[in-house]
Structure 1
Amino acid sequence: MATTSETPARNIDAEITKYKVAAEIVHSVMQKLVAGAVEGKKVLDLVIEGDEALEAGAAGVYNKKAKGAAIQKGIAFPTCISVNNAVAHFSPLKSDPQSDTVLAKGDVVKIQLGAHIDGYAATSAETLIVGATEDEPATGRAADVVKAAWTAAEAAMRHLKVGEKNYGVTEIVDKVTAIWDCKPVENMLSCQYERNVIDGKKKIILNPGEQQRRDVPNETFGENEVYGIDILVVSAADGKASYTQALMQHANRLQSRSEDSRCTIYQRVSDVNYQLKMKTSRAVFSEAQKKSGAFPFNIRCLEDEKKARMGLQEAVQHGLVREYPIAYTAQGTYVAGFHFTIALLPGGPSLITQPPIWYKPEKVKTEKEVQDEQLKELLVRPLRESKKDKKAKKKAEKEDEE
């Protein structure tokens, strides 16, 4: 089909370059945060440091104008550091009651962040256990859940190939995490990425309920698609920590005027239009749009926190802005997460973001290991077949046909 001015031809190479530049920024910031996530460190200091480093990294690249306009770049997902049974999106403000949260030895710490160049976003997350080393590895359920999460992530990225199905990822993550008596966090979504979009049409769901399985259709992965894959695993048999439940908990906290674990991250909903009535709401919405565009933002980036909370309330009520609530699993459980950005290119899958910095098998001592031969074979398979392997495979197929 011929392209038009409304549907310009994609320059895949240029897109992938921008994704990878964003990923380099993310990796550099992640290195600093992993090194800084030590016993006694305040989470607040880390998330502020992360956001400042993301902004600085983006400011240093792509500074030539394109067709007379500056290239938009910056944070694609604010820095979040969620500890132990907090699932995701913990990024406190100085005024929050939990702003004094300090890391302790043995904490299971999930670090999540993202950057974008010209709307092409690379997002990443990894998990570490404070104080665990190769000489003194973590043990018990903390070790189990981290091992389960990273092994599931490795299996998932190898299943992400053109022609495969999204529910294949769902099933394989279930199968892997069960080895360590863990479960994927209920109803966790991973989405297709496009320019200025990190919640695209095609989705992958983990541990879905009946209604959620109906809501997420069976999809086939296509060539030149990019995905942000979120593997979140809980050290519990049922995986209960759905975002439906989290939203209900958040609403209950608002009704009871509780200030604990207040939501700090929001995002413009692209397909909703509404004329805000309050002057404050319009001003806050306009400021957020200028600073973050289509991507999630932390209230911290806005000029006046109190005014921002007031203005965002109306925008949320009318669906113009969505919240990223903080969800928790049961007390005494741990959640581990790994997030990667991957492109399904003609030559095979290409990992945009880097492998985890902290994780090494020697740092997590577990009693159980993968025994299933098919899983073992999958986990040692390279993401992309070499030209030599492809030729050998084609030759074998041709010989079989003869």
Structure 2
Amino acid sequence: EHGGVDILWRRGFLLVLFMCMEVGAGFEESLAPNMPIHAYFPKSDGPRKRMYPTGKERQYEHKTYSDGYRVQITPSCEAERREMEDIVLDKANNIRKAAEVHRRVRRYAQHELLKPGIKLIDICEKLENATRTYLEADKGKAGVKAGIGFPTGVSLNSCAAHYTSNPGDKTVLKYDDVLKLDFGTHVNGFIVDSAFTWAPNAKYETLLEAVKDATYTGIKEAGIDVRLCDVGEAIQEVMESYECVLDGKTYQVKCVQNLMGHSIEPYRIHAGKSVPIVAGGPSTRMEEGEIYAIETFGTTGSGYVWERGDCSHFALNHPDEILDSGMKVKMPRASKLQNFIEKHFKTLPFCPRYLEWAGQKDYMPALQHLVDTGVVQDYPPLYDTRGSYVAQYEHTIFLRPTCKEIVSQGDDW
């Protein structure tokens, strides 16, 4: 008798437990951040109070190129290089902090934002607010010490780069779109620049695979004393070995020849050295301590991009470049806007949405005057031929004394 009651009670308990689990499944915790990134990492007892995760480390390749130049880390200099690691540790920790934020923000985007039907402007604003939360970049600080590295790129289909939503953008993401999500984070000016392509329709898989393979080939080739032209040649060989079939038509995947990776310096996303993605580039060599964005673009179109459409990306030129322009700002409102940009962004790229977020109004005439006088550089959207599809993958690497570190690599790619 009591055994039967016990069985019924246990069955009832299990039923209630199962129902609770089902209800709870609909209330999964959001990946949107609610506290700064440093709260996730305890302080240490050492001289450096808080350390952030190291990226994927890869050893440098020991190889000889066709011109006879040999790239090799010899045992005699290995001990010295290890001593140099301590010197660059603070620099590395800034980059790693920015990279950890990037990984978490893009995971949030992948799981909760990138779905057909969402507006591009909502992707941008929610993603950027997540970065601001992690790095405490509120309106008072405006992200100069830490925050957004550059406007969130949401370039669709034949648009390869430099498209972010301007205020009022009503563009909606669709199932058949090929979206390049390219965004940056920074800590003390040390920028992490990483991008991936979202394309839920399986017909684009080969295109995405080609570009991802080409990017990792570039990362594998990169290293201290490596020539930039050799990196580009290796990338092109891999990228253009792929063919993809779209709607019954076969396309050779082409490199977008006038888009490149680039060196990065504090507060300068494009710091002077370009990493080509085709053969025939410069013989300039990579150097120890440099940071690079290794990015590749593959296309079903012409393999060349042109400026088209309304501009959304701007950046204050370096003071030396402003002096070289020889032009002076004559509009008082433009002078005020220049001071505002210097205070809130330095030479980090920005967009009209950021100006509005920080409280600016009726700024376009002044901004255009700054562009016309060479104080600010504009970066319009870049498109391949109409009807083509462009994919992009990108990681930031740090050429440390003993190895190269893919600081932005995560579990996603």
Tell whether the structures are fold-level matches, with TM greater than 0.5.
Answer: yes
CA contact (8 A) 1:299 1:305 kept: no
TM-superposition CA deviations, 1:44-69 (whole Å, max 9, x none): 100111111112211189xxxxxxxx
Aligned-pair CA distance for 1:313: 0.9
Q: Give the match's secondary structure for 2:89.
A: helix
**Cα 1:279–1:225, aligned 2, differ >3 Å: closer, same or farther?**
same
In 2, the alpha carbon distance for the partners of 1:278 and 1:55 equals 32
Amino acid at match of 1:202: K
**Cα 1:289–1:38, aligned 2, differ >3 Å: closer, same or farther?**
same
Q: Give the match's secondary structure for 1:115.
A: strand
In 1, the alpha carbon distance for the partners of 2:173 and 2:87 equals 44
Normalising to structure 1: TM-score of the pair?
0.72
1:241-320 superposed matches below 5 A: 241=305, 245-246=306-307, 249=308, 261-270=309-318, 271-273=320-322, 274-303=327-356, 307-320=362-375
TM-superposition CA deviations, 1:103-129 (whole Å, max 9, x none): 111211110111111111111110121
- Give the structure with higher Rg (CA): 2
In 2, the alpha carbon distance for the partners of 1:71 and 1:16 equals 19
1:296-375 superposed matches below 5 A: 296-303=349-356, 307-355=362-410, 357=412
Aligned-pair CA distance for 1:37: 0.8
Equivalent of 1:239, from 303, 307, 318?
303
In 2, the alpha carbon distance for the partners of 1:13 and 1:45 equals 37
Equivalence for 2:131: 54
1:128-207 superposed matches below 5 A: 128-130=198-200, 132=201, 138-139=202-203, 142-180=204-242, 181-207=252-278
Q: Give the match's secondary structure for 2:276.
A: strand
Q: Give the match's secondary structure for 1:148.
A: helix
CA contact (8 A) 1:144 1:235 kept: no
1:22-101 superposed matches below 5 A: 22-35=98-111, 36-59=113-136, 72-95=145-168, 99-101=169-171
**Cα 1:71–1:186, aligned 2, differ >3 Å: closer, same or farther?**
closer
Normalising to structure 2: TM-score of the pair?
0.70
Equivalence for 2:53: none
**Cα 1:26–1:301, aligned 2, differ >3 Å: closer, same or farther?**
same
TM-superposition CA deviations, 1:316-358 (whole Å, max 9, x none): 112211112111112221110011100111222110102472x
**Cα 1:306–1:71, aligned 2, differ >3 Å: closer, same or farther?**
closer
TM-superposition CA deviations, 1:67-96 (whole Å, max 9, x none): xxx98112111212111111112211233x
Q: Give the match's secondary structure for 2:386.
A: coil
Q: Give the match's secondary structure for 1:276.
A: coil
Aligned-pair CA distance for 1:166: 0.4
Equivalence for 2:92: 16
**Cα 1:297–1:174, aligned 2, differ >3 Å: closer, same or farther?**
same
Aligned-pair CA distance for 1:307: 2.5
In 2, the alpha carbon distance for the partners of 1:124 and 1:284 equals 29
CA contact (8 A) 1:183 1:207 kept: no
Amino acid at match of 2:114: A
CA contact (8 A) 2:137 2:146 kept: no
CA contact (8 A) 1:126 1:356 kept: no
Q: Give the match's secondary structure for 1:294.
A: coil
Amino acid at match of 1:187: N
In 2, the alpha carbon distance for the partners of 1:286 and 1:87 equals 32
Equivalence for 2:186: 116
Equivalence for 1:389: none
Which consecutive residues of structure 1, in runs of 5 or more, have no partner in the other structure?
1-9, 62-69, 133-137, 250-260, 360-402
In 2, the alpha carbon distance for the partners of 1:328 and 1:295 equals 23
Aligned-pair CA distance for 1:310: 1.1
Q: Give the match's secondary structure for 2:160.
A: coil
What percentage of aligned pairs have identical amino acids?
24
**What number of residue pairs does the alignment pair up?**
308
TM-superposition CA deviations, 1:178-230 (whole Å, max 9, x none): 1121112121132212222221232212348xxxx6xx642111112111122
Aligned-pair CA distance for 1:233: 1.4
